[in-house]
């Protein structure tokens, strides 16, 4: 199974990587238990920074699309197929929209919401 990253696209590289792994799982090209290359191997093959691949792997592991088992390396998670359909972007957008809606209803202006959001993000 081959993947291709385009450094000219505006989509972040780690997102491209995650999307392609998820798509491969959905298409049945990668199945539960299939081994994945190490971060070092994949980063060097794609001529990417190791942190970029590590970030993609970390998020995929959080979403239970992949799993890391010590010296046995990284492989596709048993529930990868169903977890690949979950899109965190959609979930975050929905939750933020609900919060913004309720803040507007309580009288907050968009400018106040932006400043508050920015402050909260900085302080986290």
Q: Which residues bind another protein (CB under 8 A)?
A: 1-8, 21, 24, 30, 35-38, 40-42, 44-48, 73
Picking from 24, 22, 14, the residue whose alpha carbon sits closest to that of residue 53 is 14
Radius of gyration of the chain (CA): 18
Q: Which is nearer to another protein, 46 or 63 (CB)?
A: 46
Three-state secondary-structure class, residue 22: helix
Q: Which is nearer to another protein, 33 or 115 (CB)?
A: 33
Closest approach of another protein to the CB of residue 89, in Å: 23
Closest approach of another protein to the CB of residue 32, in Å: 15
Supply the DSSP string of 83-107, one letter for each residue: HHT--HHHHHHHHHHHHHHHHHHTT
Q: Which is nearer to another protein, 8 or 106 (CB)?
A: 8
């Amino acid at each position: 199974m081959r993947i291709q990253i385009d450094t000219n696209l505006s989509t972040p590289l780690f997102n491209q990587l995650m999307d392609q792994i998820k798509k491969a799982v959905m298409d049945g090209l990668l199945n539960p238990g299939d081994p994945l290359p190490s971060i070092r191997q994949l980063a060097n093959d794609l001529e990417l920074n190791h942190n970029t691949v590590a970030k993609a792997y970390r998020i995929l592991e959080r979403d239970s699309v992949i799993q890391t088992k010590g010296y046995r390396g990284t492989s596709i998670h048993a529930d990868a197929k169903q977890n690949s359909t979950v899109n965190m972007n959609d979930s975050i957008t929905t939750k933020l929209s609900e919060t913004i809606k309720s803040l507007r209803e309580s009288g907050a202006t968009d400018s106040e919401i932006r400043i508050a959001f920015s402050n909260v993000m900085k302080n986290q």
